[in-house]
Structure 1
Amino acid sequence: MRKALEARAVHGLDKVDFGATSNADADLTGQAMRYAAALARGAADPTKLYDVYTVPRPSPDLKAGLANALRAGDLTGWFASLAPQDANYKKLSDAYLRLLRAPAQSVAEIPVMGEAIKPGAVDPRIPAIARELAILDYVTPEDAQGDRYTPKLITAVRQMQADYGMKPDGIIGSEALAILNMSDVDRSRAIAVSMERLRWLERTPPATRIDVNLAAARLTYWRDGKIVDSRKVIVGEPDTETPQLGSPIFRLVANPTWTVPRSIQEKEIVNKGSGYLKANNMVWKDGWIVQQPGPKNSLGLVKFDMQNDHAIYLHDTPAKPLFAMVQRQRSHGCVRVEDALGFAEMLAKDEGVLDEWHTARASGRETFVKLPGQIPVRMLYQTVLFDGADEPIVRNDPYGWDDRIGAALGFKAGKALRVQSGAVDVGP
């Protein structure tokens, strides 16, 4: 058991104390159970860290497992079997161990020295700056070449400055470099947090499902164990975060109406007058503002109805330009899907209800098409993704949700890469 605990850095748990107070059997058993639980379900309980967390979690019988491992004389093997076995977890583990063994950085990766870098300047820091901009999705890797501050990089820096609440002047000073500079300590913390989030998840998720990464604002559609589609989404802004839900889609809604929630109604619509309601095809109905079907409807032309108690669902949107933005945390909490009609067509075809869907769309009225089988949806939050060479890259933490997990794993507060977006329309 001590050998297994000494090697717990392989799971990013080296800062967590599972220690026993003595060598008494009860203390040692408690230590083993705490470590086993951390590997099997996570060192922290997401339902206690977040107001809402309903993504399905594993629940193995650890007492029976410990007894069997002791009988078999293979405690180390049992501990190892409890953690996720997938390739991504292994890649995160390898990256964490590499960072742990690397010498500590004595200076920032991109030195904050000399004058600010102005448009058109030549500076030896530009290649490193361009690489970080590519990691954050503001430029492509092909743009990260040379040491001249080019127009493409200037546009990217201005967009980044706007996203992070800075003056978008394109000048790379200490404030912009603070966003771009990430230490090995920051990286290792983010990777350990990412491993912890994977430990929260079922080891064998449904083969057909939809995963939404809220941090990256991307949707991935799995069918029979294979990724068949991936697309951009718009998710909740930092003040109205999309919660981490496990919630299935059970029907498609063609030409949906939208009953405006009280919070949006009172804050953003009720004082705008009848002219605004008429221009946006809205009417009062039983004390609620209801937007009628049509191209101006905030739900667009399709809604993906989901079963949960939080009024969260996927839907279309008339605000198409938002999908071109890098930071797409800009809704009031629901998830807007890029080319939602194309995605609905794909789901309807895969579920064998394409004819019913076409009839519903053509009606022009709000029409419900029930799916023969529910499609599980998981709203996840991962700030570490993988590049083309399968190397982990740390993206931004738009909701600041890494902090509480990092603290639970024994890390000091890290540098937060957080956006300041602001919802740009009244849609959900």
Structure 2
Amino acid sequence: MALLLAGCSVSVAPDNQASAANASEPAGPAQWSDTTRAQLRQAIDGRAAHGLDQMSFASDATDPAGLTKQALAYASALARGATDPTKLYDVYTVPRPNPDLQAGLANALSKGDVKGWLASLAPADDNYQRLSKAYLAFRKQPSAPATNIPANGDAIKPGATDPRVPVIARQLVILDYLDPKAAQGQQYTPAMVQAVRGMQADYGMKPDGVIGQEALAILNMSDADRARAVAIAMERLRWLERTPPATRIDVNVAAARLTYWRDGKIADSRKVVVGEPDRETPQLGSPIYRLVANPTWTIPRSIEDETAAKGAAYLKANNISRKDGWLVQAPGPKNSLGLVKFDMLNDHAIYLHDTPAKQLFQMTQRQRSHGCVRVDDALGFAEMLARDEGVTDEWHQARGTGKETFVKLPKQIPVRMLYQTVLFDDSGEPIVRNDPYGWDDRVGEALGFKAGKALRVETHASDEGP
């Protein structure tokens, strides 16, 4: 980042100082004034609204060069994020905003409105505003002790009596899942069971009403833990383009869910299966450029030994043979790519596809692949894309061949692989969900937060397939 602002003066002018000696002379470069300097200080002092209060931004600057450096640093944090995801992760190719901050500051100074310019840089959508409101609420009592409900005991089943129930009930009331009048005694009552089921559903867990370690992990989260998660969610939104393509596909890898946007509106949403921990689906920006009917699967070298070790009988039963030195699975219902592949342009061999393992979509934690994204009812989704792109006839013909056949889309459809651990319930309140890859930690640390408690669910249950 440049330390001095091109086109901005390094002198500070009093508010009442004329901008030029007389009206006939050309206007000089924009200057810092008492007003714009106060606006900058006020904006940085209010940085908690963006979850940035753990960072200082050198708020003691007084000289023009220091003010310029400070303004650009804070503006960059709002406009692009205070952290760089390409440095935090091995792979991050999702398109990011890139405004001309030097020109923006020069214009703001000339208008005397640094406050308005800074306010315009952060995301303005409803989700960001909700996160901001939630963060400020969570940070009101940052030193409040975390609830410590012992997890070293049997899971609490409906109807059971347990000394932990009163504390659990109190937490359910605080989280607004339980009516205070129902929080009585040590018995796990039907009202509490319903409250726990609602909480489990919100947090992406199996809503069975049994209070095990996963449910206790939620109940034991402090407001400081939740505040950290919300601040991280805001940072991830700042990484993104303010006006993404109106037609696109967003995959939330953390929640294992796909959203299809068409002309600025949500056209479809469905479950997906993504990479398991240690085989994570990367955060990519990569378009779908063609549909592949009846795909073959060339097994990557990274899992070739794993597949070959299953023996000749397994390979034969699953139509896998060696061709040109590679293990290749022929098209058909047993193919690990299923009956359709959504080919994408990237250097990481990551794409969307069908799968014969339909049962995985019924699981709550769906981080179970080798890195690619399996789509629930992929044939139905392919039909939708083919229709919207005007290639339905070509798609039907390709499917009917029974052989691997390619259908190029007239226009590429952008896909963003995102990672958001804070979602919103039906009332618009943010819910801190599972962090399956532990990716929140590195962002939180870069934002200045101490190590916090994040929800983890270990799956390690991937099957055959990419």
Alignment of 1:279-358 (within 5 A): 279-358=317-396
Amino acid at match of 1:148: Y
**2:461 paired residue number:** 423
Closer/same/farther in 2, CA of residues 236 and 117 from structure 1, 3 Å limit: closer
**1:124 paired residue number:** 166
Q: Give the whole-Å Cα distance in 2 for the aligned partners of 1:3 and 1:409.
A: 20
Q: Which structure is larger by alpha-carbon Rg, 1 or 2? A: 2
Equivalent of 1:381 in 395, 411, 419: 419
**2:51 paired residue number:** 12
- Structure 1 SS opposite 2:106: helix
Task: Give how far 1:401 is off.
Answer: 0.5
Task: Give how far 1:426 is off.
Answer: 1.6
Count of residue pairs brought into register by the alignment: 411
**2:188 paired residue number:** 148
Q: Give the whole-Å Cα distance in 2 for the aligned partners of 1:132 and 1:368.
A: 54
Q: Give the whole-Å Cα distance in 1 for the aligned partners of 2:176 and 2:259.
A: 21
Amino acid at match of 2:376: E
Task: Give how far 1:116 is off.
Answer: 5.3
**2:309 paired residue number:** 271
- Structure 1 SS opposite 2:166: coil
Equivalent of 1:97 in 136, 149, 167: 136
**2:112 paired residue number:** 73
Equivalent of 1:191 in 225, 230, 243: 230
Task: Give how far 1:307 is off.
Answer: 0.2
Q: Quick check: 1:217–1:233 contact (8 Å CA) kept in 2? A: yes
- Structure 2 SS opposite 1:23: coil
Q: Quick check: 2:146–2:220 contact (8 Å CA) kept in 1? A: no
Task: Give how far 1:90 is off.
Answer: 0.6
Closer/same/farther in 2, CA of residues 242 and 107 from structure 1, 3 Å limit: closer
Q: Give the whole-Å Cα distance in 2 for the aligned partners of 1:402 and 1:386.
A: 18
RCO (CA 8 Å, sep 6+): is it higher in 1 or 2? 1
- Structure 1 SS opposite 2:273: strand
TM-score (norm 1): 0.89
1:401-427 CA-partner distances (Å, limit 9, x unpaired): 101110111100111211211133120
- Structure 2 SS opposite 1:311: coil
Q: Tell me, yes or no, if structure 1 residue 401 matches structure 2 residue 439.
A: yes
TM-score (norm 2): 0.82
**1:167 paired residue number:** none
Q: Quick check: 2:97–2:240 contact (8 Å CA) kept in 1? A: yes
Q: Tell me, yes or no, if structure 1 residue 206 matches structure 2 residue 252.
A: no
Amino acid at match of 1:312: I
Alignment of 1:231-270 (within 5 A): 231-266=270-305, 268-270=306-308
Equivalent of 1:52 in 91, 96, 104: 91
**Structure 1 gap segments, 5+ residues each:** 136-140, 165-169
Q: CA RMSD in A?
A: 3.0
**1:42 paired residue number:** 81
Amino acid at match of 1:325: M
Task: Give how far 1:276 is off.
Answer: 1.2
Task: Give how far 1:365 is off.
Answer: 0.5
Task: Give how far 1:124 is off.
Answer: 3.5
Amino acid at match of 1:271: A
1:281-301 CA-partner distances (Å, limit 9, x unpaired): 111100000000001000000
Q: Give the whole-Å Cα distance in 2 for the aligned partners of 1:187 and 1:68.
A: 38
Q: Percent identity?
A: 69
Q: Quick check: 2:93–2:283 contact (8 Å CA) kept in 1? A: yes
